[in-house]
Structure 1
């Protein structure tokens, strides 16, 4: 795959910055995986699948980032003070494959803590997943042209954005519909989740457009920085907030482990 990462030589600082960003992403997801596994017993059965989905997201995203980090160090070698491309190339396409798995999980988590019933969750999840896959697939097609044809990059990016807008509209509408059902102060937290999603998910299209406005080695560093911040925000921090909502609602429903963890019952 032709990505702009393979077009340039990198200074030691630029190369190591990208390497450190990818490694930080791996560490954040693996640490969060341990946390979600430990904390899952504090979540009532009604919400526990949301925490389980966080574990799936951490494993999937963590493995892809391990692959990305290894690919980065394999693709370039230090020659005369700069890192130059070798026979192996770096490929961002694996991220899109990962998003096909993780984004449906993230959206389903949200529906669970919004207290929809099973039938409603299935119906809304189907709509959200189809929109998400449309967004990802068209974005994947667009980034195939980032080296050869910026016109197609713009066109497919615009199509992907239409799916993105539809997805966020349903997410916002769902939160507005169900916010009143959330207990123990989590109605305020769910709004923070919404704004976190808007922030993190907007970073991805900015990263997608980097070849159009910063087509150089610094642009590559910026793109990997945007990807890393977006990954940690939209998966790790998002998962922590969803789990917090799940524990608070579990405690409100009388689930003893959650009540003890929050200091509402004697240990």
Structure 2
């Protein structure tokens, strides 16, 4: 539930966290676009999807930021004082769910894309992961906006079912497809799945705060902070690891490309085929 009042420090905390997420998502997206030539063409689709994810998140955080500023106002001189809910305005939590509805399935798509698995395996994994991710977000929203603990529990449990299924696919079924990946890539995939699990666990914890008897302005600020930090980890940090995986796989696939990228061979020399002796 949205609090009636926020202290100056509470308002500043949410304000600064939302600003941090916007900067993180926006400039990660820009970085990913700029480094596309640093990986082989077969892995660029994953980086494009990662950039789209961060771009979508940045856009929605602009909307969240504006909604927050409109929802809480103060009459204090210089804008320093207690912030109360503006008449006729309300903080729109729905922006987060619209963002997650678009970005969570894409996060899974970019992981599958960067691995460049056999098409049959890719198709099988995507048909399992994308619908489950979409269902997880759709089932969570009714509970998020409900003021009833029973309704919140019901939709929370229903949303957890596809969440557990996604974890099963990522940690069990996907592992079977990693045998042909370079050793360093397998290590990064393991870390990536842990990052995804750790960041995604923040969402149900924040979702469950009212059920734990934690309410009021402090709880609301804690929830906004948890969602914001988790979004940075699950999108921006995740995207940078995807980029690292794409680099390693590019190096493993094409040693000449690796030498050029590492500065061991001039680009012009690499393009000229050498005559056999």
Q: Give the TM-score category using the shorter length.
A: over 0.9
Q: How does 1:1-267 map to 2 (within 5 A)?
A: 4-5=1-2, 7-79=3-75, 81-86=81-86, 87-145=88-146, 148-183=147-182, 185-213=184-212, 214-254=214-254, 256-263=256-263, 265-266=265-266
Give the conservation status (yes or no) of the 8 Å contact 1:44–1:255: no
- Structure 1, 21-30 or 252-261: larger mean CA deviation: 252-261
Q: Distance in 2 between matches of 1:154 and 1:136?
A: 15
Question: What is the SS of the residue equivalent to 2:178?
Answer: helix
- Structure 1, 229-238 or 79-88: larger mean CA deviation: 79-88
Instruction: Give CA-to-partner distance per residue, 1:50-78, whole Å, 9 cap, x none.
Output: 00001110110000000001110111111
Once the two structures are TM-superposed, the CA of residue 114 in structure 1 deviates from its matched residue by: 2.7
- Structure 1, 174-183 or 250-259: larger mean CA deviation: 250-259
Q: TM-score, normalised by structure 1?
A: 0.93
CA change 1:256–1:48 in 2 (3 A) is farther
Question: What is the SS of the residue equivalent to 2:4?
Answer: coil
Say how many residue pairs are matched.
Answer: 261
Once the two structures are TM-superposed, the CA of residue 8 in structure 1 deviates from its matched residue by: 2.5
Which structure has the larger Rg?
A: 2
Give the conservation status (yes or no) of the 8 Å contact 2:199–2:230: yes
Unpaired runs of 5+ residues, structure 2, are 268-277
CA change 1:67–1:257 in 2 (3 A) is farther
Give the conservation status (yes or no) of the 8 Å contact 2:53–2:103: yes
Question: What is the SS of the residue equivalent to 1:84?
Answer: strand
Alignment RMSD: 1.6
Q: TM-score, normalised by structure 2?
A: 0.89
Give the conservation status (yes or no) of the 8 Å contact 2:42–2:116: no
Once the two structures are TM-superposed, the CA of residue 180 in structure 1 deviates from its matched residue by: 2.1
Give the conservation status (yes or no) of the 8 Å contact 1:11–1:82: yes
Q: Distance in 1 between matches of 2:38 and 2:256?
A: 8
CA change 1:152–1:204 in 2 (3 A) is same
